[in-house]
Every structure is written in C-alpha cells, then in structure tokens.
Structure 1
C-alpha cells in the first residue's frame, strides 16, 4: 500500500444551495484522481459536512430554516450524501464534520497517523472555506500537502484563486498541482508542481489581484508542459 500519501475528498455532497464554478469539470477531475488513488492503493478518505437537524451545536450565525434547523447540510436529508459518481467503497473512510475544517472535533488526525500518512492530497469544496481551513490545520499538524487546483472550486473564480494564492503564500509544505500531474505523482512517474519558493510568494496589492491570479495561472500551466 502507498501509505505515505492519502487522498482527502472534502464535502463533495448533493447539497445544491451553492452555485459552484466549473463544478462538472471538478467532479470529472476528482473521479479520475480517485480512480488513480484506488488503483495505486492509496488510502481514500471522504468528508461530509453535516449539521444536526434540530439546530443544536451550530456555530453562531449559521443560516436557519423556518423550523429552527439548519438551512443547509441538514442531517438525514439527501443533501448530505456524497455524489453518486464518487460513491465511497466499503473500505474507505467517511468522516462527518460539523465545522469547516476536517480536523475540528473529528478523528481524522488519528486515522491518518494510524495509516502512517505523511502527505495529504486535498481536493473538494469549497476552496475558500472547508478546503482552506483543512489545509491550514493539516499544515499546523505537520503534514505535507498536495493541493489539487482543478479538483477544487468555490462560488466564484475570484474566491477560488484568492484562496489558492493565500495557501501558496503561507503553507510552506504545499505543492499546488493539477489532477493530471497528481495522478502522475501517485503512479511514481515524473510530474510537475508549483511549490512556494519563499513566504508571500504571490504578494499583491488590491489593484494587482487580477494580474497575480494570471501569474498563478501561468505557473500552473507551465507545470503541465
């Protein structure tokens, strides 16, 4: 088993309250990456965001339905189930969480340590919320991180790319790579990735944001050449 890596697929659920950019492409790229991970016997872990149906133990300000329960990711509904095209195998872990980070009040860290995982491959939704929170916690816990740029998305491309920039600036153990390059890495073939060369590598002022996103995109395109 290739147990130095594990694939973490974050919150790829039926919940349809958010319109996500390029979601169909993200699903397709996740399916391809999942196929490679399974073929290479890389441990696969899914997370589901699940809010208690009765509205208990919700963060302050969590959007509520008329009955006082959560308006999204409500336990017991179809919306919390993982997409059928990504259905977990019987031997794959599914971890339910009630907060953004996959590590918050879950046994994910213990599970990874029991598998002797050193590098966490992260994909899923939303880039600027659950993915971002999970990546920072993984970094704090000492994991190396491969973040799959085209197997994540958010409600806007601005949110997606801004989050990629933040993580590339400050998660020193991070490799940013595409799903195709990540599959090559798992197959022990030559691959290309973007790794931070120094802190705040993509520093920018507000008026420079579009150009900085373009610079990040250009670096990612070069990793595929």
Structure 2
C-alpha cells in the first residue's frame, strides 16, 4: 500500500511530548512525509482577539519531514492538499498535535479532497480539553472510519 505521513503542528509552541516526536521520527524513513507548522498572523486568523493565545511567530517543525507547509489557523492550506494528492498514495496517515481540532480539520480537508485519511491513534495528543487525544480519535473514527491503533504495526509492514 502506498502511503504518506502527514504530521500536524509538532512544534515548540505546543510542547509535544518526547514520545510523540520519537514515534514520528521512526516512521519518517518508511514513506513520503509532510509536516505543517502553525504560525501566528492575527490579520489571517484572530487567535489573540478570540482566544487570547497564539502560536509562536517563528516556530519550526520538530521533525524532519520531506516537506513543511506553513499554515495560519486550523485548516490545511490548498498547497498542502495539492502536494499530498500529487504523491498519488492509497492513504494518508495523520499524526500530531491537537487531535480534536487541527488533526481533525486535516482529516476533513483530506476527505473532501478525495484522499483516504487514517489517524495514528497512539501518535496524537489532544488539546487542553482532552490531552489524551481520545476525543479526537473517537471523532475521527465516527467521521472517517480509518484508524491505525498502533504506529509500531506500521513499522512491521
């Protein structure tokens, strides 16, 4: 099966746990990879005005993906989606930060683009509402169905 890895917002502003970064790094050599980094631009997305918080203005990805796309807000950019479509993969494995918001938003964008998004359940962290990520995985299963429970199974082939 041809697949790509999409890494959502694994960057300093979100203080990812070491186990998340290490797990993602183990998958990087196996397939094409794309990472997103959320940067703050109040003129584009009103984080400070509405949430009194914003990601760092100069964060970089903490994982060395093949391609990195900058985004402002929850959604994937059209360029990110176009790049993933051009990879001509059977599915896009999704992992990263904020399983119940940014990761879920990526799932909707991929689904709407005709791709098959699959969340990696043990390589996500949730928002402050549910840091475990369980809520995001439950929502993902409901909306898209495809869940890879353990990243180690992906290493085995």
**TM-score band, normalised by shorter chain:** 0.7 to 0.9
**Partner in structure 2 of residue 87 of structure 1:** 64
CA contact (8 A) 1:148 1:182 kept: no
Render the CA deviation track for 1:35-85: whole Å, top value 9, x for unaligned.
xxx2x3x21111100112xx31223xx225xxxxx842232x3xx1122xx
TM-score normalized by structure 2? Answer: 0.84
**Partner in structure 1 of residue 11 of structure 2:** 13
CA contact (8 A) 2:92 2:115 kept: yes
**Partner in structure 2 of residue 124 of structure 1:** 96
Question: Any gaps of 5 or more consecutive residues in structure 2?
Answer: none
Cα drift, residue 159 of structure 1: 6.1
Distance 1:58 1:158, change over 3 A: closer
Determine the C-alpha separation between the residues in 2 that align with 1:10 and 1:28.
15
Determine the C-alpha separation between the residues in 2 that align with 1:51 and 1:182.
33
* Alignment of 1:97 onto 2:74: no
- Provide the secondary structure at the position in 2 that maps to 1:27: helix
Higher relative contact order (CA 8 A, sep 6+): 2
Cα drift, residue 29 of structure 1: 1.5
**Partner in structure 2 of residue 114 of structure 1:** 86
TM-score normalized by structure 1? Answer: 0.61
CA RMSD of aligned residues (A): 2.3
Determine the C-alpha separation between the residues in 2 that align with 1:8 and 1:98.
17
Question: Any gaps of 5 or more consecutive residues in structure 1?
Answer: 65-69, 186-225
Q: Provide runs of 4+ in structure 1 moved above 6 Å.
A: none
Cα drift, residue 157 of structure 1: 4.4
CA contact (8 A) 1:97 1:106 kept: no
Greater strand percent: which structure? 2
Distance 1:14 1:140, change over 3 A: same
